[in-house]
Amino acid sequence: MAAPRIELDTVPTPDTKPIALIAPSNPMKATPFAPGQIYGRRFRDAKPINFGKAASPRNFAVHGVDVSRWQGEIDWPKLRTQGANFAYIKATDGGDHLDPMFRKNWRAAEAAGLRRGAYHFFYWCRTAGEQADWFIRNVPKVAGALPPVIDVEYNGESSCKRRLSRAKTLEKMQVFMDKLERHYGQRPIIYTAPDFYRDNLRGEFLDYPFWLRAVAEPPSKVYPGRKWVFWQYSGSGLSHGVEGKIDLNVFRGSASDWHRWVSRSAG
């Protein structure tokens, strides 16, 4: 079952009825969380960017985070009330690495009332099939989970320095995504960064949802013409509940759009 695509081309406008964005004065008293509750953005940013009034991430109703082992121990209830309505959690790399915090974060994010999904960092020196098998082995197929994500980008710190042709890159991605879609019944989301997108993905995978990294300019400038579901707008977020920096993201749409998208796309 392919996940539906978001067809929103402009900055979202408010719903006809005001949306209550909950920001309690004492976040530690906020559990248990009511299903579907939207918490307003209370994050800060160590390196704030002025994207312009029209393109500001603040215009979007639904904010979230992505995390990995590098965030260490997370106070998920507190992070939730700071505006993390969803979380993508690092699960796997390549064909044999599991993020040591994945299982704990996976359980704790759900307990705190966040919509959660898992992502895989793709290695170009491993076969796509074995990477898909490794992800499936480690990421549960559960009701309510967000679609799985394939993270495709260049990584200068990896021991794999291989740069495949565009055709081979697309072929490997397709094998991986097809296998995940068959298993989870959800069309995977493609996460990418500007340089990798420019070299490999421009004009490709038009029927797949995208999650775009754009931390200096809005996606419309960096990925002209590309529709997207999630925008990673900062890698230097600051929030109660997390030591150090955290990636900040928005969903493209209103709160009502979010609820509709989740009802169609979540497992």
Catalytic site positions:
66, 153
Find residue 22's DSSP bridge partners.
39
Rounded to whole angstroms, how far apart are CA atoms 251 and 266?
A: 14
Are 236 and 65 within 8 A, CB to CB? no
3-state helix, strand, coil in the chain (%, to 5): 30, 20, 50
DSSP helix/strand/coil, 189:
strand
* Segments in 194-254 forming alpha helices (H): 194-196, 219-222
In 3D space, the residue among 142, 81, 70 whose CA is nearest the CA of residue 114 turns out to be 81
Q: Could you say which DSSP state residue 196 is in?
A: H
Q: Which two tokens stand for residue 140?
A: 């549960």
**E strand residue ranges, the chain:** 44-45, 63-67, 86-93, 97-98, 115-121, 149-152, 189-192, 210-213, 230-238, 246-251
* DSSP structure string for 10-28: S-----SSPP--B--S-GG
